[in-house]
């Protein structure tokens, strides 16, 4: 699984921290740090984080898919 956070869109509401603790963290008040390649066991948490983000800054997709790849 791959995770991408649009840091320009992120407003540091920190809802992802509650949805997927251990995969997202805030350093300071606004600097989001995240795990871009969580294992498949974290899929449920990552999906909750995607849906919890009020500004839709988080995207998660399977390892075998590249974001924006044309079919």
pLDDT at 42 over 50: yes
Token digits for 36? 């871009």
As a whole number of angstroms, the distance between CA 52 and CA 61 comes to 16
Q: What is the mean pLDDT of residues 25-49?
A: 92
- In contact, 16 and 7? CB cutoff 8 Å: no
What the block records as the tokens of 65 is 């898919």
- For residue 59, pLDDT over 50 is answered with yes
Task: Tell me the pTM.
Answer: 0.82
């Amino acid at each position: 699984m791959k995770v991408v956070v649009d840091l320009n869109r992120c407003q540091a509401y920190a809802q992802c921290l509650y949805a997927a603790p251990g995969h997202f963290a805030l350093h300071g008040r606004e600097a989001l740090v995240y795990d871009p390649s969580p294992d498949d066991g974290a899929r449920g948490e990552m999906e909750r984080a995607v849906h919890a983000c009020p500004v839709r800054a988080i995207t998660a997709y399977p390892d075998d898919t590249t974001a924006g790849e044309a079919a």
